[in-house]
Amino acid sequence: MNIIFEVDEMKENVDIPEKNLISIIEPKKVESLENEEIIIERSLNNPIGSKKLEDILNSNSKVSIIVDDITRSTPTSLLISIILKRLKNLGIKEKNIKITIGNGLHRKTTYLEKEKILGRDVLESFDVEDNDPLNKENFEYLGKTSLETPIYINKRVLWGDIIIATGIIKSHAFAGFTGGAKSLIPGVAYRDTILKNHSFYNIDYPKGLLGDIESTPRKDMEEAVKKLPIPFYILNVVLDQNNKIFSAFSGDFISAHREGVKIFKSLAETYVNEKADLVIVESNYTSSFNLYQTLFGGAVTMLTKSPIVKKGGMIVLFSPCKEGIGANIIEDLVPNFNSGEEILDYLKHSSPQEEQWAVQHLAYFLTYGEVGLVTQGINEKVLKGLKMKYFENLKRAISYAFNKYGEDIRILIIKKPDLVIPLYNAPKGGES
């Protein structure tokens, strides 16, 4: 069977014998017959667990808006244009609206990225800033969660009478899903807050579980939101396989988000009846910038409630990684150890560290099996130090896997990994 893999400028056609292919897993193909603006407007007119914005705000209100950074495929410019139109109709002045990019501990966005996220008119007309997680003076302390996470939130976000957080709902490696309270933490939180929430023990599998709305980090985030002195209102969307808005959910950060998660799961969850020796994961655009984001995409193979790769199997990630590794800790730490088990033991006793969660995920993969990367952005020598196998192309990766597992190798392919939740459907009586 001929299969095309394509991410950004990286493209390859490969042939995989049908007898070896279990399935190609990708988002369910759905099509909304409605205009995207109509979907958003209907949601804002019918918020879940909250009054309408028009019934909460007045012409003197000050509004803080949180938007996603460039690592998300959120249609922010459309969402924010509709929100700003409503605020304008209420008589709220531009000077009383602040927009913060919820980049958490990610790098700051460039001017061109801000323009892509918001549109030039919004960028030039409103007060727009990134979250700066390293400057403690910019954050207000609101107490601790029951997990002892110190709640430091960006003062510019707390400046208003309400926080409106926009975002998309998709799967996430340890918060279960994106959206909802995740816009606050890590989005606009201080470094120490993020590190504690993302600590080794909080995200340790299976406490941090992809596709689990009750994951430990998610519950910690939501507990923090409840300590805010002002309302936290969300506008989250679920996208279809073409990154078009399929549905929208606004209102209370828990109840509206939960309804959105139900819809996302109906599109994303898919079951396979056997585990694979080899899983090939084709990154999507936003998860292909660097290895850090690519590893999050790979989480769908084994950080769910029912992993789809065999113990001793292999994961091959197909990703350009134009920005290289994307997290210093990966390159600084991993080469110093001989195995995934050693890395996990070290992290267990040294957490929290900045971006340690990326190393933690790689270590989980390494304890489970072998990890390969088809990429243009990282060389073979560097990947060898990271305990990963470098492949010039997918043909070589597949050939390597056939030699390793034999002619009866079983293969799964995943496309758009952040829009799917693949699960192994174990037979009655235990796993095969």
Domains defined for the chain, CATH in brackets: 2-26+273-424 (3.90.226.30), 36-266 (3.40.50.11440)
Helix %, strand %, coil % of the chain (to 5)? 35, 25, 40
Task: Return the closest-CA partner of residue 328 out of 367, 377, 287, 292.
Answer: 292
pLDDT at 280: 98
| φ, ψ for residue 170, nearest 5 deg | -145, 180
Q: Are the beta carbons of 257 and 268 closer than 8 angstroms?
A: no
Model pTM score: 0.93
pLDDT of 154-205, one tens digit each?
Answer: 999 999 999 999 999 999 999 999 999 999 999 999 999 999 999 999 999 9
Per-residue pLDDT of the chain (432 residues; tens, 9 = 90+): 999 999 988 999 999 999 999 999 999 999 877 899 999 999 999 999 999 999 999 999 999 999 999 888 899 999 999 999 999 999 999 999 999 999 988 889 999 999 999 999 999 999 999 999 999 999 999 999 999 999 999 999 999 999 999 999 999 999 999 999 999 999 999 999 999 999 999 999 999 999 999 999 999 999 999 999 999 999 999 999 888 999 999 999 999 999 999 999 999 999 999 999 999 999 987 778 899 989 988 999 999 999 999 999 999 999 999 999 988 999 999 999 999 999 999 999 987 888 898 899 999 999 999 999 999 999 999 999 999 999 999 999 999 999 999 999 999 999 999 999 999 997 765 554
Cα-based distances in Å from 49 to 37, 153, 168, 177, 259: 22, 24, 19, 20, 11
State the pairing for strand pair 309-318/370-374.
parallel
State the pairing for strand pair 411-415/171-172.
unpaired
- How far apart are alpha carbons 369 and 365 in whole angstroms? 6
- How far apart are alpha carbons 97 and 101 in whole angstroms? 13
Q: Three-state DSSP class for 193?
A: helix
Kindly state the tokens that stand for 70: 């460039």
Give all strands (DSSP E) within 275-334, no chain letters.
276-282, 309-318
DSSP letter string over 29-75?
A: -----S-HHHHHHHHHHS-BSS--HHHH--TT--EEEEE--TTS---
Task: Return the closest-CA partner of residue 255 out of 303, 206, 285, 213.
Answer: 213
Q: Three-state DSSP class for 175?
A: coil
pLDDT of 143-154, one tens digit each?
Answer: 999 999 999 999
Burial of 329 (0-12, 13-18, 19+ CB in 10 A): middle
